[in-house]
């Protein structure tokens, strides 16, 4: 019969009975009462979404569906619950709902037309403004930074920025951020511009150096004489760039030719190992030089910097902190899949352990967190660190890492602490996403394939045995090869200032002075 989501029929009325059963279950479990307002609101939004879709309900049945939904919404409304947003439409009548829908459609159409005109005009204005400033000389002391799609002072660019302030305060660093809200979260002394503004176009056109961990988008053509430094976002485990051409599921929404055109702007590609160097040169067959600097953001891990994560979250000093950091799944819609029962895992670790969970940033606002993880964190069963702005602070606080295929394992390996790989869907992930490292053959620690194995590993203490240490040492020697705790300084001195790196550790294939010294052999 196929999915009900692809049919137009009265079968969608079944959703009312399903919600009746959900709330009957809540009635029988008073300890779940805190979920009632959330589920009540989601019920209203879900039913209104069905009603709004043009291909779900027969037109003649829409009024009946609205009335049934409104009745259910009133009957199941928790005492004192506030109703706002779209769900408030259910407290009015069918005629009012239809008028609101018609007005909204008309408004969206007008807004789209006006928005298109504004975007074209603004784009032309920005292009003209950028062209004007592109005729002015480059500012040799202006460095423009961005990270993670203009999300703020993060990652390798942030580490380079901090090192530049210390080593070369004459350099002027300007951050590109996505909006005013992001700008408000920056330290008061950090100069910034909002992406897409005329001021941003001016700064981008004049900068001698541009530093980013993702490809720049919506920027003017690269000016001769400017230097683009690309830091990446960690050591590569899964397929990137041109390698995605053979993985249609993994490249969904990725314009590979455009990605390669943007990568062709890079002058320097920072790497932490020869593995990363070879992968990036294969995945991005462009004209950059690989710079064997190490990862600037990992300097704090190599040097054992301070962390206030435990104190801020009230974790007892004698607790063993286990960090669980899963990654996305490209073969599942939305990217999330529950590979572990984290409540069972936390209980199995024991009372003297704290389980910290950090979801991939793309899942931060998803249903996995809204329904499951948030409730477990509220009850104190786990600690949710998904919103922690500084990943290094979380890693420094953890005594062990459990992950599946997240590149965070390469960063955490710098701490030389136990890592456990939970690979229960390894074959599926390998086939659909593509990987550069066989984690079952070259793991950073023990590998488990079921929750029972994982629980047993920690219960027995084998998670930190000699075999774990041996595997980790081999892994670190290969994938943390150029990490010596001075990566950010190395970038500033050799790439921004073009001066020797005093006292630098001589790395394989790397000379001792100047920018050319950092180019791969």
Regarding whether 279 and 141 lie in a shared domain, the answer is yes
Give the CA dihedral 147, 151, 152, 156, nearest 10 degrees: -20
In a domain, residue 275? The reply is: yes
Regarding whether 461 and 317 lie in a shared domain, the answer is yes
114 pLDDT tier (thresholds 50, 70, 90): low
pLDDT in tens, 333-370: 545 566 789 999 999 999 999 999 999 877 776 665 65
Name the helix (H) or strand (E) containing 235: none
Which residues, 6 or more positions from 272, have their beta carbon under 8 angstroms from its beta carbon? 235, 293, 294, 295, 298, 410, 479, 480, 481, 482, 483, 487
Which residues, 6 or more positions from 76, have their beta carbon under 8 angstroms from its beta carbon? 19, 23, 40, 43
pLDDT at 447 over 80: yes
In a domain, residue 521? The reply is: no
Cα–Cα distance, 492 to 501 (Å, whole number): 9
CB contact at 8 A, 327 and 404: yes
Domain count, the chain: 3
In a domain, residue 122? The reply is: no
Instruction: Give the CATH number, domain containing residue 343.
Output: 3.40.50.12580
pLDDT in tens, 490-509: 999 999 999 987 654 444 44
pLDDT at 5 over 70: no
Q: Which of 59, 92, 125 is the last residue of a domain?
A: 92
In a domain, residue 251? The reply is: yes
pLDDT value at residue 512: 40
Cα–Cα distance, 193 to 417 (Å, whole number): 39
Cα–Cα distance, 55 to 8 (Å, whole number): 5
- Which letter, b or e, does each residue of 187-225 get, where b requires 16 or more Cβ atoms within 10 Å of its Cβ? eeebebbbbbebebbbbbbbbbbbbbbbbbeebbebbee
In a domain, residue 497? The reply is: no
Regarding whether 311 and 291 lie in a shared domain, the answer is no
Give the CA dihedral 71, 73, 74, 76, nearest 10 degrees: 120
Instruction: Give the CATH number, domain containing residue 168.
Output: 3.40.50.11820
Mean pLDDT over 212-226 rounds to 90
Mean pLDDT over 150-171 rounds to 97
pLDDT in tens, 65-107: 999 999 999 999 988 888 877 788 898 888 888 888 877 777 7
In a domain, residue 100? The reply is: no
Regarding whether 159 and 79 lie in a shared domain, the answer is no
Which residues, 6 or more positions from 140, have their beta carbon under 8 angstroms from its beta carbon? 208
368's tokens: 């996995």
Q: Which of 412, 406, 359 is nearest to 382 (CA)?
A: 359
Of 385 and 336, the structure prediction assigns the larger pLDDT to 385
What is the residue whose two structure tokens read 């779940």? 32
Cα–Cα distance, 260 to 250 (Å, whole number): 16
Regarding whether 37 and 55 lie in a shared domain, the answer is yes
Cα–Cα distance, 444 to 418 (Å, whole number): 8
pLDDT value at residue 333: 56
CB contact at 8 A, 332 and 360: no
pLDDT value at residue 2: 47
pLDDT value at residue 510: 40
Cα–Cα distance, 319 to 357 (Å, whole number): 16
pLDDT value at residue 519: 42
Q: DSSP string spanning 368-390?
A: IIIIIIHHHHHHTSSEE-TT-S-
Regarding whether 462 and 319 lie in a shared domain, the answer is yes
Cα–Cα distance, 342 to 375 (Å, whole number): 12
Q: Which of 282, 300, 318 is the last residue of a domain?
A: 300
pLDDT at 378 over 50: yes
pLDDT value at residue 332: 62
Of 29 and 521, the structure prediction assigns the larger pLDDT to 29
Q: Are strands 172-177 and 191-194 parallel, antiparallel or unpaired?
A: parallel
pLDDT value at residue 306: 83
Regarding whether 316 and 285 lie in a shared domain, the answer is no
CA-to-CA dists, residue 18 to 25, 37, 72, 334, 366, angstroms:
11, 17, 11, 23, 22
In a domain, residue 370? The reply is: yes
Mean pLDDT over 321-328 rounds to 94
What is the residue whose two structure tokens read 């590109």? 176
In a domain, residue 97? The reply is: no
CB contact at 8 A, 50 and 43: no
Regarding whether 167 and 243 lie in a shared domain, the answer is yes
Q: Mean pLDDT for the chain?
A: 87
CB contact at 8 A, 30 and 51: no
Q: Which of 270, 300, 330 is the last residue of a domain?
A: 300
Regarding whether 145 and 74 lie in a shared domain, the answer is no
Mean pLDDT over 197-210 rounds to 94
Cα–Cα distance, 278 to 152 (Å, whole number): 29
Regarding whether 279 and 336 lie in a shared domain, the answer is no
Regarding whether 333 and 289 lie in a shared domain, the answer is no
Regarding whether 284 and 331 lie in a shared domain, the answer is no
Cα–Cα distance, 270 to 495 (Å, whole number): 11
pLDDT value at residue 199: 93
At residue 207, φ and ψ (nearest 5 deg) are: -70, 135
131's tokens: 């062209």
Residue 380 belongs to domain spanning: 307-479
């Amino acid at each position: 019969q196929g999915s009900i989501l692809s049919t137009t029929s009265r079968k969608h009325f079944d959703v009312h009975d399903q919600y009746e059963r959900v709330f009957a279950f809540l009635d029988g479990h008073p300890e779940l009462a805190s979920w009632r307002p959330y589920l009540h609101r989601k019920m209203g939004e879900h039913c209104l979404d069905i009603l709004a879709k043009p291909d779900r309900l027969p037109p003649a049945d829409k009024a009946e569906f609205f009335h049934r939904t409104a009745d259910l919404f009133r009957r199941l409304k928790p005492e004192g619950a506030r109703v706002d947003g779209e769900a408030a439409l259910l407290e009015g009548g069918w005629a009012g709902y239809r008028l609101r829908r018609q007005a909204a459609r008309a408004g969206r159409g007008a807004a789209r037309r006006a928005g298109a005109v504004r975007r074209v005009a603004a784009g032309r204005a920005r292009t003209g403004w950028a062209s004007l400033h592109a005729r002015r000389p480059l500012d040799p002391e202006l460095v423009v930074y961005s990270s993670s799609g203009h999300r703020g002072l993060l990652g390798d660019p942030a580490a380079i920025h901090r090192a530049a302030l210390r080593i070369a305060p004459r350099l002027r660093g300007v951050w590109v951020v996505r909006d005013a809200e992001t700008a408000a979260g920056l330290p008061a002394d950090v100069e910034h511009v909002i992406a897409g503004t005329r001021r941003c176009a001016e700064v981008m056109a004049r900068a001698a150096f541009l530093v980013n961990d993702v490809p720049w988008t919506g920027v003017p053509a690269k000016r001769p004489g400017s230097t683009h430094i690309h830091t990446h976002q960690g050591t590569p485990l899964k397929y990137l760039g041109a390698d995605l051409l053979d993985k249609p599921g993994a490249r969904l929404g990725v314009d590979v030719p455009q990605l390669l055109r943007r990568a062709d702007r890079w002058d320097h590609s920072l790497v932490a190992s020869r593995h990363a160097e070879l992968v990036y040169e294969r995945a991005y067959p462009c004209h950059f030089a690989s710079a064997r600097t190490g990862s600037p953001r990992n300097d704090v891990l190599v040097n054992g910097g301070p962390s206030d994560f435990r104190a801020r979250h009230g974790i007892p000093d004698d607790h063993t902190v286990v960090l669980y950091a899963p990654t996305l799944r490209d073969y599942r819609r939305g990217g999330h899949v529950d590979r572990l029962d984290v409540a069972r895992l936390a209980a199995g670790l024991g009372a003297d352990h704290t389980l910290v969970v950090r979801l991939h940033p793309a899942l931060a606002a998803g249903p996995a967190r809204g329904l499951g993880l948030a409730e477990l964190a509220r009850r104190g069963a786990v600690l949710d660190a998904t919103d922690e702005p500084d990943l290094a602070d979380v890693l420094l606080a953890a005594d062990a890492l459990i992950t599946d295929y997240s590149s965070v394992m390469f960063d955490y390996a710098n701490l030389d602490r136990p890592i456990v790989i939970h690979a229960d869907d390894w074959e599926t992930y390998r086939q659909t996403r593509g990987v550069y490292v066989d984690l079952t053959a070259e793991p950073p620690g023990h590998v488990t394939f079921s929750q029972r194995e994982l629980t047993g590993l920690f219960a027995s203490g084998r998670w930190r045995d000699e075999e774990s240490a041996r595997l980790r040492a081999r892994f670190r020697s290969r994938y943390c090869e150029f990490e010596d705790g001075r990566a950010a300084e190395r970038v500033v001195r050799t790439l921004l200032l073009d001066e020797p790196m005093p006292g630098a550790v001589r790395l394989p294939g790397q000379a001792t002075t100047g920018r050319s010294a950092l180019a791969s052999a």
